[in-house]
Structure 1
Amino acid sequence: MEQYVGLDVSLKETEICVVDGSGAVLARSRVPTEPERLAVVLGELAPAASVVVLETGGQSSWLHQELTLRAVPAVIVDARRAKAALSCLMNKTDANDAEGLAQLARTGWYREVAAKRPETRIIRSLLLARQQLAKGRRDIENQIRALLRGFGLAVGAVAKQRFETRVRGLLEEIPLLQDAIEPLLAVRRTLLEQSDGLEERIRDVAATSPVCTRLMSVPGVGPITALAFVTAIDDPARFKRSGSVGAYLGLTPRTHQSGETAWSGR
Structure 2
Amino acid sequence: MQSKVTTISFQGQNIYAGIDVHLKSWKITVMLEHMEYKTFSQDSDVDILCGYLNRNFPGANYLSAYEAGFCGFSLHRELERNGIKNIVVNPADIPTTDKDKKQKEDKRDSRKIARSLRNGELKGIYVPSCELEELRCLVRYRKTLVKDISRNKQRIKSLLYLFGIKIPNELNSSSIHWSGRFTSWLGTIRTSTIQGEMVFKEIINTTQHMRSRLLMVNRQLREIGQQGKFGRLISLLHGIPGIGLVVSLTFLTELCDINRFKTLDQLCSYVGLVPTTNSSGDKEKNGKITPRSNKQLRNCLIEAAWRAAKQDPALALKYNELRKRMEPNEAIIRIAKK
> What TM-score do the two structures reach when normalised by structure 2?
0.70
The answer to whether 1:104 aligns with 2:116 is: yes
Structure 1 residue 198 displacement after superposition: 0.4
Structure 2 counterpart of 1:119, one-letter code: E
Residue 207 of structure 2 aligns to a residue in which SS? helix
Answer yes or no: is the 8 Å Cα contact 1:130–1:198 preserved in 2.
Answer: yes
- Which residue number in structure 2 is paired with residue 34 of structure 1? 45
Change (3 A) 1:7 1:51: same
Q: Which deviates the most, 49-58 or 4-13?
A: 49-58
Distance 2:166 2:61 in 1: 65
Change (3 A) 1:28 1:259: closer
Change (3 A) 1:152 1:240: same
Structure 2: gaps of 5 or more residues? 1-12, 289-338
Structure 1: gaps of 5 or more residues? none
The answer to whether 1:121 aligns with 2:139 is: no
Structure 2 counterpart of 1:178, one-letter code: E
- Which residue number in structure 2 is paired with residue 93 of structure 1? 105
- Which residue number in structure 2 is paired with residue 74 of structure 1? 86
| Pairing of 1:1-266 with structure 2 (within 5 A) | 2-22=14-34, 24-47=35-58, 48-49=60-61, 51-82=63-94, 84-85=95-96, 88-89=99-100, 91-153=103-165, 158=174, 159-162=177-180, 163-165=182-184, 167-168=186-187, 171=189, 174=191, 176=193, 177-207=196-226, 208=228, 209=230, 210-258=232-280, 262-266=284-288
Structure 2 counterpart of 1:97, one-letter code: D
Structure 1 residue 240 displacement after superposition: 2.0
Change (3 A) 1:126 1:104: same
Distance 1:87 1:202 in 2: 46
Residue by residue over 1:59-102, the C-alpha shift from the partner in whole angstroms, topping out at 9 and shown as x without a partner, is 241111121121101111121112x5265425222122111100
Answer yes or no: is the 8 Å Cα contact 1:18–1:45 preserved in 2.
Answer: no
Give 1 or 2 for the bigger CA radius of gyration.
2
Change (3 A) 1:211 1:96: same
Distance 2:129 2:50 in 1: 21
Structure 1 residue 103 displacement after superposition: 0.8
Distance 2:48 2:151 in 1: 42
Structure 1 counterpart of 2:247, one-letter code: T
Distance 2:184 2:247 in 1: 30
Change (3 A) 1:4 1:157: farther
Structure 1 residue 236 displacement after superposition: 2.5
Residue 254 of structure 1 aligns to a residue in which SS? strand
Change (3 A) 1:35 1:3: closer
Structure 1 residue 50 displacement after superposition: 5.3
Residue by residue over 1:172-222, the C-alpha shift from the partner in whole angstroms, topping out at 9 and shown as x without a partner, is 5x4544232011111111110011100110111122221111101223211
Q: Which deviates the most, 32-41 or 247-256?
A: 32-41
Residue 104 of structure 2 aligns to a residue in which SS? coil
Answer yes or no: is the 8 Å Cα contact 2:62–2:84 preserved in 1.
Answer: no
Higher relative contact order (CA 8 A, sep 6+): 1
Structure 1 residue 31 displacement after superposition: 2.4
Structure 2 counterpart of 1:185, one-letter code: I
Distance 2:42 2:173 in 1: 54
Answer yes or no: is the 8 Å Cα contact 1:54–1:60 preserved in 2.
Answer: no
Change (3 A) 1:262 1:240: closer
Structure 1 residue 261 displacement after superposition: 5.7
Structure 1 counterpart of 2:70, one-letter code: G
Change (3 A) 1:104 1:154: farther
Distance 2:165 2:255 in 1: 46
Answer yes or no: is the 8 Å Cα contact 1:140–1:188 preserved in 2.
Answer: yes
Structure 1 residue 56 displacement after superposition: 1.4
Change (3 A) 1:154 1:240: farther
Structure 1 residue 259 displacement after superposition: 6.5
Answer yes or no: is the 8 Å Cα contact 1:86–1:100 preserved in 2.
Answer: no
4+ residue runs of structure 1 moved beyond 6 angstroms?
Answer: none
- Which residue number in structure 1 is paired with residue 5 of structure 2? none
Answer yes or no: is the 8 Å Cα contact 2:88–2:124 preserved in 1.
Answer: yes
> What TM-score do the two structures reach when normalised by structure 1?
0.87
Percent identical pairs in the alignment equals 22
